[in-house]
Amino acid sequence: MIMTAANIPNFELLLASHYVDGQPKLVFLDWLTADDAHAAEQDSKSLGKLKKHYRLTDDDITFIQVNSLSKENDLQDLLLTAIQQLNDYAAGNLATFELPLDISMGTAFQQRVWQALQAIPYGQTISYAQLAANIGQPTAFRAVANANGKNPFSIVIPCHRVIASGGGLGGYTGGLDKKRYLLDIEAS
């Protein structure tokens, strides 16, 4: 597994790629807090989950600085592609990400929610209740909100497009300032 911390305009993200069924896949992309950025190589909050899910040891994980990634390596090239697409998104030039994702770390329910999130059009929002209805479980809005919060692909799987039924922002793992920023990008 290859991991890198990327600084994208107004974003500090941790990304990871790994071979899944012989193919390079993005397996994680999430916000870094100031503490995570300082300790990303040692203590990412999700590193333990990734190691367990993919049955990895510390020796199986390589942290590489963004400026040292190479297009010659499939896993590193995927990270470079993800970073370029995130930059294009931040600039308002990309509405749909085209990245191979491995969502197998989620439960079957979480995977259904994450797939439904990808169907929310760029620049639009829906409520947690509507998302629950979209997966055929209209009373499961709390479970949908929980699955939304466990999304391992912030921004790429657009959990920021889900808001409270009353029109408020609701929650967001990266922080409401980031959710508002992403919605503003999509509104312009």
> How is residue 117 written in tokens?
């999130």
Q: Is 132 left (phi over 0), alpha (psi -120 to 50) or beta?
A: alpha
Integer Cα distance of 128 and 130 in angstroms: 5
User: Would you say 147 and 113 are in contact if contact means Cβ atoms under 8 Å apart?
Assistant: yes
* 159 has catalytic annotation: yes
> Catalytic: which of 159, 162, 182, 183?
159
- Tell me the catalytic residues: 159
